[in-house]
Amino acid sequence: MIPAFTSLRHFGTTTMRRAASEFRMTVPWGEMRGQVWGPSHGRPVLCLHGWADNSGSFNTLIPLLPKDWRFVAIDFPGHGFSSHRPDGCFYTFPLYVADVRRVVEALQWKRFSIIGHSMGGNVAGLFTALYPEMVEDVVLLDTYGFLPTEVTDMFKNMRKGIDDQIHYDNMMGERKEKVYTYEKAKERLKVANPSLSDQSADILLERAVREVEGGFIFTRDFRINLKNIVNNNMPQCLYMLSLVKARVMLLLANEGLFKTYTLPNGYSDLIRKSWTDQKATILDIEGDHHIHLNKPESVASIITDFLQSHRPDKTQSEFDNNQTSKL
C-alpha cells in the first residue's frame, strides 16, 4: 500500500476565504504536493488543474462549494510545488493518470468525485475510463475530457516529442534558470494565459514561483512544454468515453479553450453526441477558459447542484471512505 503523508500546514491569504491545509505525499522521484479543504470525513472530491497551472486554480472556487465536503487539489508533477519527473522522463497523460492513482491510493479513497479543468479534465476522462468503479461523478471544466488527434499527426507528434526530449537532455548542462522580478514573472504568466485576471495570476503565482537570490524562478518543469508523445485518435477516444460509468457534466465556456483550439472537422460534434448518448449534462456558459478561477460564482452553484443531485444512499463505499481516509 502506498503510504499517505500529511504534513498539514494551515494558512490563509487574501486570495482565499477559507483555510486550506498543505497536502504532501512521497513518490519514488520525490513528493507530490497540493491543498486540502474540508473535514476528513467529508464527501471526497479530487480537483485536477490544467496544463501549466497548479492547485491554486481552485482557490476561489472551493470556498464557494459545500464546506462539509473534502476537497483535495493536487499539483501535478512538474507543476506547482510537486517534484519534477526524473531526468530523461516524458510528461504524458498515462503518467498523469498513474499520478492520480497514486494519490487516491494514498488517500485510501474507494469512491470519489472529480472536478477537472482543461488538461486535468482530460486526465479525469482517461482515469474514469480506466477505473470506472472508483468515480461517482465528473465535472469537466472547459474540456471534452478527451481530445482526439488525427492518425497522421499522432506519429509526427511522437517523433517531435522524442527529438525535443533528447535535445533538452543534451543541453541540460548549459541551461540556467531565468530569474525574474515578481512583476515580470506575472507578466510572463499573463501573456501565456490571456484569460487570467490580475488577481488570478497572483493566486497561481503563489505556487508557480519561488524566491531566489535576485528575484523569482518558475517552479514548473520546462519539459511540460515539450510535445506530448502519447496521443489518441477518435476511435480510441470514443471507446474510452464509452467505458465511463460516472455521471458527467461538461461546462464549456463560450470564450474558452475551443475559441482558439480547433479540433479536426466534425470532431467536436461527434464527441458531444457521444457524451449526450452517455446521458452527460452539457452546458455552454458565458466566460473564458479560467472562468472557475476568475469568476467562480458563475459556476459554483451549477457544480454544487450537479454533484448534489444524485447522492448515493449511505453506501458501503462512503462508509469505507469515512473510516479509512487519511487526509
Catalytic positions: 118
User: For the chain, where are the alpha helices, taking DSSP H only?
Assistant: 93-107, 119-130, 151-170, 182-192, 198-208, 234-243, 257-260, 267-277, 291-294, 300-308, 316-324
Longest dimension (CA), the chain: 58
Beta bridge mates, 288: 255
Burial class (CB in 10 A: 0-12, 13-18, 19+), 316: exposed
CA atoms within 13 A on the CB side of 101: 15
Q: Which three cell numbers stand for residue 269?
A: 460534434
- Give the chain's end-to-end CA distance (angstroms, integer): 15
Which residues, listed in sequence order, are joined to residue 43 by a DSSP beta bridge?
69
Q: Tell me, what amino acid is at 189? A: L
Cβ 72 vs Cβ 34: under 8 Å: yes
Dihedral pair phi/psi, residue 309, rounded to 5°:
-70, -20
